[in-house]
Amino acid sequence: MALRFQNSLSRRKEVFEPLEAGKAGLYTCGPTIYNFAHIGNFRTYIFEDLLKRYLRFRGYEVTHVMNLTDVEDKIIRTCRETGQPLAAITGRYARAFFEDCETLGIDPADHYPAATEHIDDMVAIIRALREKGHTYEANGSIYFRLKSFPGYGRLSHMDLEQLAEGASGRVDSDEYETEDARDFALWKAWSEEDGEVYWETELGKGRPGWHIECSAMAMKYLGPSFDIHCGGVDNMFPHHENEIAQSECATGKPYVKYWLHSAHLVVENKKMSKSLGNFHTLRDLVEKGIDPLAIRWVLLATHYRQPNNFAFDAIDAANQSLSRIRDFRLRLAEVKGPGDDLAEACEACETAFTEALDDDLNISGGLAAVFDFIRDVNKRVDGGLIGADGAKNALALLDKLDSVTGVFAPPTEAEAPQDVIDRVMARQQARRDKDFARADALRDELLAEGWIIEDTPDGPRVKRT
RNA sequence: GGCGACAUGGCCAAAUUGGUAAGGCAGCGGCCUGCAAAGCCGCGUAUUCCCGGUUCGAGUCCGGGUGUCGCCUCCA
């Protein structure tokens, strides 16, 4: 079967056929860097990480662009409230964002363009739109005239007329300088509360609207038409819809071929909010001692279009699943001698994994294939049927699939220190002496210090709890 | 109010564009073990939210209802 994705444009699964064979241009909406990112944000970034890793696994040469929104209303407000310059705030949270990504094992993008470094590119697009009659000015700001783009609403499947009705009851049109409440700003004239945040350009003194940055930076690094654009569902309207409008009107070319949107994350089945006390940044969770890999597992293991429920029970389950995989690797590492090379089993696992992921990134099915493989191989290890070659092949397969999931890596803990090893050996001697009381006491003692002893036919195995 | 998504065993979560319910976690029994742990085997009667309909056959399609969530106000 071919690789296929659910395209938000058509609301159907479509076979992935990139604009250029063998390559994939990918743009993902990045963070607004005025605060620490929360796990809901990372749900989306993990989905995008899986997408990119899988595209590479399938042999595509991926160019991944993720923007950093570093000028925007909330950031400016923070500047005003704290008296700090814009760059101080965005610099700090950009660093935090990259640290968090590393903590979760998210592969870096090829480009992280920042909005403030691409003002000229935005101005160029706005100029093109103005020349083609898609804009108008009001009080120094420049707006996009929605009615000038007949295709508006194609992505979110919104009806323009209904939008107007919906807005009329809830939006005070007097607050808007626009001709039409649905029009959006391309360029915002400077106002006093913007403080030091402005650019002097041919469009006047001001700053860009939010939507224009993504169009400008996506097209700069990926071209006027590219393959995949991702983001959370909440960005579908109006952000992505506006991006399509301004981009296609400016270039006259189709903007994006495949739109993929991830569903939201809820925490303990409730919407994440500070008032409910279930609002978590990644840092909060790590400080509580939760293994980042378990967090990655939970964020990864639910299909991206399914609402993901982040619960501490789920973290526990994820930890168990992870240790099953780690234990499996430990067992394999101890296998010696001749026996089955597992070539068939490995191939069957990889095929099942690939077929699952090909189907719109069905990661649950992919993980199931791996667990089936683990059970199958464990059974044969029990039977003494596996050879060193087989163990090596199985480990190589896990490594290969880990390039997609990022959760199959071997444990990184250091070797047990000498005093632990000494006591393990002392326990062995006690067992040989049939002094089981002493043996068990030593085992309990080590367990309390975080070391688990497992007796195997080849002697004791020591691992971290 | 408008548009849309989702609703599967105790928990998490799949099901190839309809064919008779993966996988993980937890639990119970067994094998193995001095005892454990790990591993393996077995075990859940799942009204697949409810009510209708189409079909030889529906978790999968259609209609209605209920619930949760999202968007419609620059929140992934």
Per-residue pLDDT, A163: 60
Per-residue pLDDT, A46: 96
Q: Is the distance from CB of A199 to CB of A193 less than 8 angstroms? A: no
Å from the A366 CA to the B68 C1': 28
Q: What is the pLDDT of residues A198-229, one digit of tens each?
A: 999 999 999 999 899 999 999 999 999 999 99
Amino acid at A163: L
* Phi (first) and psi of residue A109, to 5 degrees: -75, 165
Å from the A435 CA to the B26 C1': 35
Q: Which nucleotide is nearest to A158 (CA to C1')?
A: B3
Per-residue pLDDT, A172: 39
Q: What is the mean pLDDT of residues A306-335?
A: 91
Q: Which nucleotide is nearest to A231 (CA to C1')?
A: B76
Q: Which nucleotide is nearest to A43 (CA to C1')?
A: B76
ipTM of the complex: 0.91
Three-state SS for chain A is CCCEEEECCCCEEEECCCCCCCEEEEEECCCECCCCCEHHHHHHHHHHHHHHHHHHHCCCEEEEEECEECCCHHHHHHHHHHCCCHHHHHHHHHHHHHHHHHHCCCCCCCECCEHHHCHHHHHHHHHHHHHCCCEEEECCEEEECHHHCCCCCCCCCCCHHHHHHHHHHHCCHHHCCCCCCCCEEEEEECCHHHCCCCEEECCEEEEECHHHHHHHHHHHHHCCCEEEEEEEHHHHHHHHHHHHHHHHHHHCCCCEEEEEEECCEEECCEECCHHHCCCCEHHHHHHCCCCHHHHHHHHHHCCCCCCEEECHHHHHHHHHHHHHHHHHHHHHHHCCCCCECCHHHHHHHHHHHHHHHHECCCHHHHHHHHHHHHHHHHHHHHCCCECHHHHHHHHHHHHHHHHHHCCCCCCCCCCCCHHHHHHHHHHHHHHHCCCHHHHHHHHHHHHHCCEEEEEECCEEEEEEC
Å from the A309 CA to the B25 C1': 15
Q: What is the mean pLDDT of residues A102-123?
A: 96
Taking the alpha carbons at both ends of chain A, their separation in whole angstroms is: 41
The C-alpha atoms of residue A369 and residue A352 are separated, in whole angstroms, by 6
Average pLDDT, chain A: 90
Q: Which nucleotide is nearest to A307 (CA to C1')?
A: B6
Å from the A261 CA to the B27 C1': 37
The tokens of A32 are what? 């607004």
A461 Cβ partners below 8 Å, 6+ apart? A330, A334, A453, A454, A455
Å from the A264 CA to the B50 C1': 26
Q: Which nucleotide is nearest to A44 (CA to C1')?
A: B76
Residue closest to A141 by CA, chosen among A184, A174, A188, A186:
A188
Å from the A276 CA to the B27 C1': 31
A273/A23: higher pLDDT: A23
pLDDT band at A161 (very low <50, low <70, confident <90, very high): low
Per-residue pLDDT, A295: 95
CA distances for A46 relative to A39, A217, A218, A358, A410, angstroms: 10, 22, 20, 17, 20
pLDDT band at A170 (very low <50, low <70, confident <90, very high): very low
Q: Is the distance from CB of A14 to CB of A258 less than 8 angstroms? A: yes
The C-alpha atoms of residue A138 and residue A413 are separated, in whole angstroms, by 62
Alpha carbon A113 to chain centroid, angstroms: 17
Å from the A300 CA to the B29 C1': 34
Tokens 């804009």 correspond to A135
Å from the A159 CA to the B32 C1': 66
Q: Which nucleotide is nearest to A436 (CA to C1')?
A: B34
Q: Is the distance from CB of A75 to CB of A90 less than 8 angstroms? A: yes
Return the nearest residue to B10, CA–C1': A313
pLDDT above 60 for A125? yes
Return the nearest residue to B12, CA–C1': A314
* Phi (first) and psi of residue A25, to 5 degrees: -95, 125
* Phi (first) and psi of residue A64, to 5 degrees: -110, 125
Return the nearest residue to B33, CA–C1': A455
Å from the A116 CA to the B15 C1': 47
Return the nearest residue to B75, CA–C1': A234
Residue closest to A144 by CA, chosen among A255, A248, A230:
A248
Q: Which nucleotide is nearest to A269 (CA to C1')?
A: B68
Amino acid at A375: R
Q: What is the mean pLDDT of residues A72-94?
A: 91
pLDDT band at A169 (very low <50, low <70, confident <90, very high): very low
Return the nearest residue to B26, CA–C1': A317
pLDDT above 80 for A59? yes
A424 Cβ partners below 8 Å, 6+ apart? A416, A442, A446, A453, A460, A462
Q: What length is written for chain A?
A: 465
Per-residue pLDDT, A171: 40
Å from the A360 CA to the B44 C1': 31
Q: What is the pLDDT of residues A239-277, one digit of tens each?
A: 999 999 999 999 999 999 999 999 989 888 778 877 777
Å from the A372 CA to the B45 C1': 26
* Phi (first) and psi of residue A436, to 5 degrees: -70, -25
Q: What is the mean pLDDT of residues A337-366?
A: 94
Q: Which nucleotide is nearest to A162 (CA to C1')?
A: B2
Share above pLDDT 90 across residues of chain A, in percent, rounded to a whole number: 71
Judged by average pLDDT, the poorest of A116-125, A156-165, A448-457 is: A156-165
Å from the A431 CA to the B45 C1': 47
- Protein-covered nucleotides on strand B (Cβ within 7 A): 1-7, 11-17, 22-26, 33-41, 68-76
Return the nearest residue to B38, CA–C1': A454
Q: Which nucleotide is nearest to A265 (CA to C1')?
A: B76
Q: Which nucleotide is nearest to A74 (CA to C1')?
A: B74
Return the nearest residue to B3, CA–C1': A158
Tokens 């397969």 correspond to A397
Å from the A308 CA to the B65 C1': 26
Per-residue pLDDT, A1: 66
Per-residue pLDDT, A285: 93
pLDDT band at A173 (very low <50, low <70, confident <90, very high): very low
The C-alpha atoms of residue A50 and residue A370 are separated, in whole angstroms, by 16
